[in-house]
Chain A
Amino acid sequence: MSLLSFAAALVGFGVLAPVLGCLLSGADRIVSARMQGRVGPPLLQPLHDVRKLLAKDVRPVNSFQGFYVLLALLFSLLAGAFFFAGGSLLLVVFVLTLSTLFFVVAAYSTRSPFAEIGAEREIIQVASYEPMVILFAVSFFIATGSFDVSVALAREVPVIAQLPLVFCALLFILTIKLRKSPFDLSYSHHAHQELVKGITTEMSGRTLALVEVMHWYENVLFLGWVALFVVWSSWIAVPVALAAVLAVYFFEVLIDNNFARVKWQSMFKWSWAVTLVLCLANILVLSFL
Chain B
Amino acid sequence: MSSTIRSPWLIHYDASSCNGCDIEVLACLTPLFDVERFGIINTGNPKHADIFLVTGSVNERNIGVVQQIYSQMLEPKVVIACGVCACSGGIFRDCYNTLGGIDAAIPVDVYAPGCAVRPEAIIDAVVTGLGVLEDRRKALAAGTLQPVALPRSVTAADKLVGGETVRAAAAASTREALEVLAACESPAATGGEALESPASHGGEALEACQSRESPTATGTQEA
A interface residue numbers (CB < 8 A to B): 29, 33, 36-42, 45, 47-52, 55-57, 59, 191-192, 196-197, 200-205, 208
B2 touches A55 (CB 8 A): yes
B45 touches A38 (CB 8 A): no
Interface magnitude class on chain B: 20 to 34
Known: A191-B44, A208-B48. A52 touches B74 (CB 8 A): no
Distance in angstroms between the alpha carbons of A59 and B147 in the assembled complex = 14
Contacts of A52 in B (CB 8 A): 3-4, 6-8, 50
Number of A-B contacts (CB under 8 A): 79
Distance in angstroms between the alpha carbons of A192 and B76 in the assembled complex = 23
Contacts of A201 in B (CB 8 A): 45, 47
Contacts of A208 in B (CB 8 A): 48
B137 touches A55 (CB 8 A): yes
Specify the main secondary structure of chain A where it touches its partner: loop
B interface residue numbers (CB < 8 A to A): 2-4, 6-8, 29, 31, 34, 36-39, 41-45, 47-48, 50, 74-76, 137, 140-141
Distance in angstroms between the alpha carbons of A47 and B7 in the assembled complex = 9
CB < 8 Å: which of A40, A42, A197, A203 contacts B44? A197
B45 touches A196 (CB 8 A): yes
Contacts of A47 in B (CB 8 A): 3
Contacts of B36 in A (CB 8 A): 29, 33, 38, 40-41
**Minimal beta-carbon separation of A178 from chain B (angstroms):** 19
CB < 8 Å: which of A39, A191, A197, A205 contacts B37? A39
A57 touches B6 (CB 8 A): no
A48 touches B47 (CB 8 A): no
Contacts of B75 in A (CB 8 A): 56-57
B41 touches A202 (CB 8 A): no
**Minimal beta-carbon separation of A40 from chain B (angstroms):** 6
A48 touches B37 (CB 8 A): no
CB < 8 Å: which of A36, A57, A202 contacts B140? A57
Contacts of A55 in B (CB 8 A): 2-4, 76, 137, 140-141
Q: A52-B8, A55-B76, A55-B140 are in contact. List 6 more A-B contacts (CB 8 A).
A: A33-B36, A49-B7, A57-B75, A191-B29, A191-B41, A192-B42
**Minimal beta-carbon separation of B75 from chain A (angstroms):** 4
Of the A-B pairs whose beta carbons lie under 8 Å apart in the complex, a sample of 24, sorted by A's number, is A33-B36, A38-B31, A38-B37, A40-B34, A40-B36, A41-B38, A42-B39, A48-B6, A51-B2, A52-B4, A52-B7, A55-B2, A55-B3, A55-B76, A55-B140, A56-B76, A57-B75, A57-B76, A57-B140, A59-B74, A196-B45, A197-B44, A197-B48, A201-B45
**Minimal beta-carbon separation of A69 from chain B (angstroms):** 14
**Minimal beta-carbon separation of B5 from chain A (angstroms):** 8
